[in-house]
Structure 1
Amino acid sequence: MASVAAPPTPLRVLYLEDNVTDRALVEERLRLAGFVCEIREANSGADFERALGERDYDLILADFTLPSYDGVAALAAARRRHAHVPFIVVSGTIGEERAVECLKSGATDYVLKGNLRRLQPAVARALREAAEQRRREEAEAALRQSEERLREMAETIRDVFWVTSSDGQQVLYVSAAYERIWGRLRSELYARPTSWLDAIPMEDREAVTAALTRLAAGTEYQIEYRIMRPDGTVRWIEDRGYPVRGADGRVERALGVATDITERKELAAQLLQAQKMDAIGQLAGGVAHDFNNALTVINGYSRLLLDLGQLPPKVAEQMRLVYAAGMRAGNLTRQLLLFSRKHAVHKQVIDLNAHLRELAKLLGRLIGEHINLELDLTPTLPHVKADESMLEQIVMNLVVNARDAMPRGGRLRITTAVRSFGETDLAGQAGRRSGSFVCLTVEDTGCGISEEVMPRIFEPFFTTKPPGTGTGLGLATVFGIAQEHEGWIEVESRIGTGTAFHVYFPACTENPAAPTEAAEAAPRAGSETVLLVEDETPVREFVAAVLTHFGYRVLQASCGMEALEVWKWHSPRIALLVSDMVMPDGVSGMDLAEALQELRPGLKVVLMSGYTSEMVGRLYTRRPNTHFIQKPFQPTAFAKLVRELLDGNAVSTNSNPPMAVGP
């Protein structure tokens, strides 16, 4: 008879939450994540503390803010009764400072209610660490019973187990992991029992010696400190020491376990940084939206006035300066989006040499007068297919990296070349592929990169620069962009001589698209009626001015509800809807387009937005006769799209032409 698998043991969870809806959301999230839970719900501080005494738990979840009770009090009560049970704060109001306070007080993690996708990994990690902690404590209890068992177990695990005399002046045993973590021989430690302290920086050593003094007096300790290995690398250690008493109660020996927690520290720092970067990215998206709305008006009106050709010469020249400044502001917005990782990839065929010559005009101010910039560009270089802004980001990041490596000045050399690789060229070169490639090299005469640091230079958040002068994202960004473009990076460096970064892109046989603006005919005018919906008054007035200039009749509305009212009275006349994507009354441009196209199938629609492509992607659904244009846009490009759409000749659902400086 076939055996039936036993059902999984439910996870015993105590959950403090007074909001029924929030509690249901969290419990549903746990269920969807695959956790089988037996949940004891508590909706007040008194109920929570009563529940703590009812049974043992595997996990405690707690809201941070309840009437007359908060997360700090809940954490303190939980630690008194269940010291080692994972405690996760799940709250929508906790600030960063309070979160750090909770973590320092013993909380395992915190999850924001607005970001419940973190709940599953946070719970999984907490349970995993709790299990590891329990296993460690069980091992330590067994070690106290038998020194021989200590030796047998300690030699096979990653942590350092140690036994010393009560005063620490004699090392009775230390496990093999000491040599791997400290980078020093055990024989040296046996010969000089305090030599392990030599690896601890002075700023950490005082706390360690104080803990050892307490241990000699009979008080156990748990402490974190850094050690400097002989190779110069720094590791974080979590050390726990316990007194071993004789029959008379006096401390006879001390034993403990030291764990390398460097990876845990780095992951925690990266997680915090990633959360900050995500917040910055959200901010960048909003800022870019506001910038793009403003630039739509500034660049649009200045372009429109220049295209009319009726300005006095001096005023026209001043207007060109306004337009050029607006274009530079647009470039700043794109850089902001690239930093926040909200920038869509738009590959086009690029003449890399020409692009580098233009960038070189800006690099002088970036690197300073103490560094000599040289360009050595291969004349017959093939083109590359790349995102222009990302290509610029590669160059800028590598140039900044080179500049920082030459604080006293030097030579910065940018070269291009074409390289072909066969199968025999791939051995020992990770990432290299066969074929024809364009190689961009940025070479400096700076301090160079050590062999110890080299394997980590592309790690996110890793930096050798002083605090406040480097994010550790520059080279990681370069690495990611190269991969995005089906390329790779190779590095050559010698201490005291300099470093060369070689970035490879697949060679492209296509030619760059020829500029078409000058030769392109002016958009044809029209006489149809357009319903224009835009909540930003200056933007609405500008778009209306463009449409009027090209002969269209314009009906205006400032929100979706107002647009529906206009439609009710004028729908037979309306040939085209032009609407912003995001509006304040809850009716988005997409909602409005769908509603009106239900009333009149085949209605032509142009949606516009200053938001990032990521935000637009969440709102925009491809539909027949519906086109999208990114703010800011050229008046002529917008008028051309309108005419093509009304004539039934539009071929793309996404229009975002570049805005060229000039009359």
Structure 2
Amino acid sequence: MQESLKKSQAPDIQEKNPVILTIDDEPDVRNSIQAYLEDFDYVVYGAANGREGLSVFQEKPIDLILVDLRMPEMDGLEVLAKVREINENMPIIVISGTGEISDVVEALRRGAWDYLLKPINDLSILIHAIEKGLERARLRRENRSYQKRLENKVDETTDELIRVNQRLKDVVESTKKLLGCGELQESGQVILEEFGKHMNAKGGSIYQVVTDGLDLLYSLDPGHANEFLPFPLKKNSPFDKALQSSEPFYVIDIEKNDSIETSGWKHYSDNSTLILPIIERSGKTIAIIALHSKGEPFIMQDKEIGTILASYASEVMQTAQAEAALQRNEEYLRQVQKMDAIGTLASGIAHDFNNILSAIVGYTDLSMFSGDLSPAIEKNLQQIKKASNRARDLVQQILSFSRSDSFEESAVDIGPIIEEVLKLLRAIIPSSIAIEHDVPIGLGKTITDPTRVHQLLMNLCTNAAQAMKAGDGLIRITFERLARAELPDDVTEMGSDFCLRLTVEDNGCGIEGSEVSKIFDPYYTTKQKGEGTGLGLAVVHGIVTKSGGAIRLSSEVGIGSTFQIYFPAIDTVVTKVEPQPEPLMPRGDERILFVDDETTLADVVGEMLTTLGYRVDIMTSSVDTLKLLRNAPDDYHLLITDQTMPVLSGVELSREALQIKPDLPIILFTGFSTAIDHESVQEIGIKEFLMKPLSMNRLAAVIRDVLDDSQGARL
């Protein structure tokens, strides 16, 4: 197993093995990490404190740093600051025993790329974090190198232009101005204005070539040009001819030129026209410039000067596009880093929080089981249990959001999910924004991931709230069941006879018609810088697509937007099922060995099992538990173990226990773990895998089932 792991995770050493510096004042931790990484062909240097670590960093060719937060002489945060002064691009991963959010936030703020909590029971997590950090550093180096090559190319082209004759001085000045452009929209405006100035043209437009048409970047005479020209273009129109030939051309009088189709281009017919395609190095046309209203016909010299300017415009636009791509890549990397850090933090919180919930649920169940309760006390205990279940579900939602790639399908009634979202929305959306809803329950089910539907609706509603710039407005949510015949003509994806339609509408600022077709593209956003990444609606579209549904948007500037989401219904209307009383808890008298390093949880579960009639031995150490099993392997009918424990995890303890007594039934439970699931534990020989918190009813039923199955197998 270790050999296969090494093979799959060993670093790429075509040039050299990655060099890792680990800074930790605990020799055991430092030495164990160093030994483990060296097994995977990393070159590792160790340092006992921050000052020593900085010295090694300045002397050795370090590729990545692992640093503890709490150290004498110089702590991890100071190390972060000093390393950033020397090399702001150095990957740094903080490994600390403190799980305080303030420490995590401060470390990430000072430039840490990742944050891992001690103890790292599964060191493959460390390997994953290191590989991720090295890969991110490589991508950033490549991005910087690519940007530098683009800058060098622009410089080379500029040097070439400087050598042309005197009559092109004005063109040279224009190119200098073009090279100062930043974003693509700004580049388009400057390019067109410079072209118009040199050609003495008062009218014109520049279009970017996109997947499905020509998108207007800028116009010298606003309102004169269409915002978007969809493909296919009208045959033999000026833009069609430019795209087909990739050659510049001018027309003295467009109305007298039989080879040019004037329909739809009447704004050019009052004068001659100059069309200039902007072509990238591969030969692909990336933009088209059209100039008109010169006052006199365009001539060959205009075409020649325009061709020179077009070559510079091409470099400028490609640089702008490359910079935009670089920004998107870095934004994506930042989002990945944030999600990884959030996932790590959420996992740690989930484990501890579920342990606390287990104690609350356990003692609540014991109190309710004791009987002789007054109605008021019983009602209070029921409320405690209900609140605990809501807290458990909330933890699961946090974990699901931190694992954005998961999609766990099931038959879902969306109505209750909408009701849950409505409760959350009221807490996070300003009270000045009204929320109306018409959400009947029991309209039918669909196959989807309920957590993703929750995410989808939260995304649409928060977007709607942000669209209300004045801070007040109305969001309306409706949910209805439609037959196939009632579907709009453009919704053809539905394969079922009925569908469920979720509608979110607002009276916000609305979306421009030219932007509607691009609104679901990744990174495309109508928000200002800092307000969003453009990933939200792309995620929404992905959720709907994975659910086999369809999404439609209608919007009008100044009126608002309406999103309609269609889910295929899989059954008839859901009838409300009355809650059934919980069955009597099964009991037994077998002897059970229970281990959990959380003393409070061990005590409450031990009391539960005793109440159910079982004979229970409680342990808080997996090592001591293993010794007990070795000394008396036949004394126990069942082993119940927590997963996350010092020295030996629950899985490791189970493997050792099954070596001692192969037919010993084992139940494994955990507050949270990404390393195990039902399938993996069953391969080991563990009979059941449970997530905390557990109710007394659930625990009693599972124990009885496992014991009965085990005893039946022996017969």
TM-score bucket (shorter structure) = 0.5 to 0.7
1:518-557 paired onto structure 2 within 5 Å? 518-557=580-619
**What SS does the corresponding residue of 1:183 show, helix, strand or coil?**
helix
Query: So what's the TM-score if we normalise by structure 1?
Result: 0.65
* Distance in 1, Cα, partners of 2:431 & 2:527: 22
* Distance in 1, Cα, partners of 2:368 & 2:510: 51
Question: Which residue of the partner structure matches residue 333 of structure 1?
Answer: 395
Match of 2:482 among 418, 423, 435: 418
Change (3 A) 1:473 1:526: farther
CA contact (8 A) 1:349 1:511 kept: no
**What SS does the corresponding residue of 1:295 show, helix, strand or coil?**
helix
Match of 1:604 among 645, 652, 665: 665
Question: Which residue of the partner structure matches residue 133 of structure 1?
Answer: 148
Match of 1:479 among 541, 549, 573: 541
CA contact (8 A) 2:80 2:110 kept: no
- 1:412-441 deviation per Cα after TM superposition (whole angstroms, max 9, x unaligned): 132323253899966xx7x93544432211
The alignment-based identity, stated in percent, is 26
**What SS does the corresponding residue of 1:496 show, helix, strand or coil?**
coil
Q: Which runs of 5+ in 2 are unaligned?
A: 1-12, 23-30, 44-54, 68-72, 96-106, 114-125, 201-216, 228-311
Partner amino acid, structure 1, of 2:378? A
Moved more, 514-523 or 17-26: 17-26
1:1-20 paired onto structure 2 within 5 Å? none
**What SS does the corresponding residue of 1:648 show, helix, strand or coil?**
helix
What is the CA-CA distance between 1:590 and the residue it aligns to?
Answer: 0.9
Match of 1:616 among 646, 666, 676: 676
Match of 1:188 among 175, 193, 196: 193
Matched, 1:144 2:176: no
* Distance in 2, Cα, partners of 1:186 & 1:469: 28
* Distance in 1, Cα, partners of 2:581 & 2:365: 17
Change (3 A) 1:511 1:573: farther
CA contact (8 A) 2:596 2:641 kept: yes
**What SS does the corresponding residue of 1:89 show, helix, strand or coil?**
coil
Partner amino acid, structure 2, of 1:591? E
CA contact (8 A) 1:371 1:412 kept: no
Question: Which residue of the partner structure matches residue 38 of structure 1?
Answer: none
- 1:49-79 deviation per Cα after TM superposition (whole angstroms, max 9, x unaligned): xxxxxxxxxxx865679999x999999999x
What is the CA-CA distance between 1:338 and the residue it aligns to?
Answer: 2.8
**What SS does the corresponding residue of 1:574 show, helix, strand or coil?**
coil
CA contact (8 A) 2:444 2:571 kept: yes
1:166-565 paired onto structure 2 within 5 Å? 182-184=187-189, 186=191, 188-189=193-194, 258=316, 259-260=319-320, 261-341=323-403, 345-353=407-415, 355-356=417-418, 360=422, 364=426, 367=429, 370-376=432-438, 381-406=443-468, 407-418=471-482, 420=484, 432-436=493-497, 437-451=499-513, 453-455=515-517, 457-458=519-520, 464=526, 474-509=536-571, 518-565=580-627
Matched, 1:115 2:130: yes
What is the CA-CA distance between 1:538 and the residue it aligns to?
Answer: 1.1
What is the CA-CA distance between 1:125 and the residue it aligns to?
Answer: 6.0
Change (3 A) 1:580 1:494: same
Q: Which runs of 5+ in 1 are unaligned?
A: 1-9, 31-42, 49-59, 79-86, 102-110, 151-161, 196-227, 234-254, 652-663
- CA RMSD, aligned part only? 5.1
Partner amino acid, structure 1, of 2:376? K
CA contact (8 A) 1:533 1:563 kept: yes
Query: Higher strand proportion, which one?
Result: 1
Question: Which residue of the partner structure matches residue 200 of structure 1?
Answer: none
Moved more, 366-375 or 330-339: 366-375
Change (3 A) 1:618 1:268: farther
Partner amino acid, structure 2, of 1:598? Q
Change (3 A) 1:172 1:512: closer
CA contact (8 A) 1:580 1:589 kept: yes
What is the CA-CA distance between 1:295 and the residue it aligns to?
Answer: 0.7
Moved more, 356-365 or 480-489: 356-365
**What SS does the corresponding residue of 2:511 show, helix, strand or coil?**
coil
Partner amino acid, structure 2, of 1:621? V
What is the CA-CA distance between 1:386 and the residue it aligns to?
Answer: 3.5
Partner amino acid, structure 2, of 1:188? E
Change (3 A) 1:635 1:479: farther
* Distance in 2, Cα, partners of 1:116 & 1:566: 40
* Distance in 1, Cα, partners of 2:572 & 2:686: 31
Aligned residues: 528
* Distance in 2, Cα, partners of 1:321 & 1:74: 52
* Distance in 2, Cα, partners of 1:373 & 1:400: 12
What is the CA-CA distance between 1:333 and the residue it aligns to?
Answer: 1.5
* Distance in 1, Cα, partners of 2:659 & 2:619: 20
Change (3 A) 1:543 1:75: closer
Question: Which residue of the partner structure matches residue 100 of structure 2?
Answer: none
Question: Which residue of the partner structure matches residue 252 of structure 2?
Answer: none
Matched, 1:583 2:645: yes
CA contact (8 A) 2:409 2:447 kept: yes
* Distance in 1, Cα, partners of 2:36 & 2:651: 33
CA contact (8 A) 2:639 2:665 kept: yes
Match of 1:627 among 688, 691, 696: 688
